[in-house]
Amino acid sequence: MPIAARQTIPEPSWPIQSFKTTNFTVPALNISRSGLTEQGLLFFAPLGSPPTIAAPLIMSDDGQLVWHGLVQSYPTAALGFQAQKFGKNEVLTYWNGVSDNVSQQRGYGAISILDKTYTEIHRVSLGHGSFLTTNNATYDSYLDVHENFITDRGTMIAVATNVTRADLRSVGGPKDGWILDCLLYEIDIKTNEVKFSWSAYNHVNEIPLDRSLYPLHGTGYNQSVPWNYFVMNSVQLFGNDYIVSSRYYCSVYSINSKGGLNWHLQGQTGGDFHLGSGAQFCYQHHVRAESSKSNGLLLHMHNNKNDDLGASVGSTTGLLLSLDLSTRQAALKTSLFNPADQVYSLFMGSYQPLNNGHVFLGHGYIPQLVEFDAAGTEVYAATFGTINVTFSYRAFRQAWLGAPSTLPDAYACASSNGTTAVYMSWNGATAYTAWAIYGGKCADDLRLMNFVDRAGFETQADIGNVAFVQVGAIEGGGTPMRSSVVFVQQKC
């Protein structure tokens, strides 16, 4: 997937939410709801234009901000934002780094892991090894944007890329050509020790270069523009095997713990399988094995069906396949799309099965979040930007309880009618339900002036004419968590 954080894009006219209590800017959601949805909040990380919206976000179904994260360490982007489980604890994860070259679909960074207070507790990085980049630049960490998957054995599944020499004569290129090799890593989260690694190019005999659907188009002749032939855009640990998706091979591979290939599913020809009617796919993202049985498994994916060269045009779907490993049959179980609002997504995307049989799709390059019910009917859709301008690599609907270590924020100003307008918010807090408002003529002599119910991310209320204000977020019958005291601005 391309990283657009450094692209110069015309400013869109998409509406943006802004606030009095904080300088966050958040895209407004254009929402269509036609049925019951699964519970949970919306997790995504918009990028594109305007650049001020680039941050991991948690929002409610009705478009209210819940948490706005800040990109840490690197100035460019945060991708793959989601909630996961690390041990017994719920955590937030996202890749955070810089783009080396937009057109080459890669980045260099690390993976942040945050606890429920939004404090970074681990940073998974890959700083060692002989990595070569297009311009010989070096980085603190070389992890790529495409995956951050926590396993039940305390490791992170991640990927990286490496500019590598390769013989490209089989695809019409030079003998001493250049490729972008794709690498899989399993890394211990607490120690950053690499537990397993795998290179696509090291298995060129099993995965020949001439099977790639991505043409050279003048690339591969020098280090600065290597041939990006594979694109490893998702990896999952499934049992003791790794499920690997390659965008430009339109393929899914099962790799065993010794690095060998168990099987290969190709979305057009079948590979090791026979494709049943409707089981075809290509340029897919976010492939996951959903469940297994004695002779097979279920495999789901965001089936983009479109590439960045215009060679394939098809309606993007959420695809669920059944694989029989004994007979090598691949059969269609479900293909999800809205025939009245078809999507054509060139890059990115995600597929998330929900507990009630529903499925949640993030359409990647198309800034749309969609939920389907168990019958395959669209019950929720939210658009968060202008098409081909704003996007989110993946998106999820997930439960989350946030308890920020920061204090609530308050802003107050004098209204023309002689009252004081008070605005209050608490970034990331999910459990509080009401606000206490304190005011007075002196900062050290405040009295309780009002109670109001929470109303979205930022609540507004009016009180009498005062010079100083403080607010307190109330959870249950507990003591209010108070903000700092703020001076009332002279004019709203």
Q: How far apart are CA 267 and CA 319, in angstroms?
A: 11
Helices (H) and strands (E) in the chain, counts: 0, 38
| pLDDT score recorded for residue 314 | 87
Q: How far apart are CA 75 and CA 98, in angstroms?
A: 7
Identify residue 366 by its one-letter amino acid code.
I
| pLDDT score recorded for residue 308 | 79
- Digitized pLDDT (tens) for each residue of the chain, 492 residues in all: 433 332 334 445 899 999 999 999 999 999 999 899 999 999 999 988 777 788 999 999 999 999 999 864 344 778 999 999 999 999 999 999 987 654 446 899 999 999 999 999 999 999 977 899 999 999 999 999 999 999 999 999 999 999 999 999 999 999 999 999 999 999 999 999 999 999 999 999 999 999 999 999 999 999 999 999 999 999 999 999 999 999 999 999 999 999 999 999 999 999 999 999 999 999 999 999 988 777 899 999 999 999 877 766 889 999 999 999 999 999 999 999 999 999 999 999 999 999 899 999 999 999 999 999 999 999 999 999 999 889 999 999 999 999 999 999 999 999 999 999 999 999 999 999 999 999 999 999 999 999 999 999 999 999 999 999 999 999 988 899 999 999 999 999
HSE-CB of 396 using CA atoms within 13 angstroms: 21
Q: What own/partner pairs with CB < 8 Å and gap ≥ 24 does 137-144 have?
A: 137/100, 139/97, 139/98, 139/108, 139/109, 140/110, 141/97, 141/108, 141/109, 141/110, 142/108, 143/95, 143/97, 143/108, 143/109, 143/110, 143/111, 143/185, 144/95, 144/106, 144/107, 144/108, 144/109, 144/232
| pLDDT score recorded for residue 260 | 97
Identify residue 304 by its one-letter amino acid code.
N
My answer on whether omega of the bond before 50 falls inside 30° of 0, hence cis, is yes
| pLDDT score recorded for residue 103 | 42
Q: How far apart are CA 482 and CA 477, in angstroms?
A: 14
In sequence order, the 6+-apart residues with CB closer than 8 A to the CB of 155 are: 186, 187, 188, 189, 195, 237
The SS3 assignment for 237 reads strand
The SS3 assignment for 26 reads strand
Torsion of CA 114, 115, 119, 122, to 10 degrees: -50
What pTM was computed for the model?
0.94
